[in-house]
Amino acid sequence: MTEPTEIITVETTTIPCDGGPNPALGHPRVFLNIETDHRVDCPYCGRRYVLKEGAKAHSGH
């Protein structure tokens, strides 16, 4: 298992990722879902999104 390139704490279970602030270094925008292990890694850029302790699941419309 490789180490994440960056770890970001979030408060919702659905996270958009586009690779960062520089479009030239980014990737297509994807929506990632945090499930049972309270974290998810982006398959494109390797960022790890970790659900903040006590955060509730986001219910979209």
Helix (H) or strand (E) holding 30: strand 30-33
Number of structural domains the chain divides into = 1
Structure confidence by residue, pLDDT tens digits, 7-20: 999 999 999 999 88
Structure confidence by residue, pLDDT tens digits, 28-41: 999 999 988 999 99
Q: The CATH number of the domain where 35 resides is what?
A: 2.60.260.40
Q: Which residue has the tokens 């999104």?
A: 49
**Are the beta carbons of 14 and 55 closer than 8 angstroms?**
no
In a domain, 59, yes or no: no
In a domain, 58, yes or no: no
In a domain, 13, yes or no: yes
**H helix and E strand count, the chain:** 0, 5
Q: What is the extent of the structural domain holding 47?
A: 7-51
Is the pTM higher than 0.75? Answer: yes
| Tokens at 29, concatenated | 């925008």
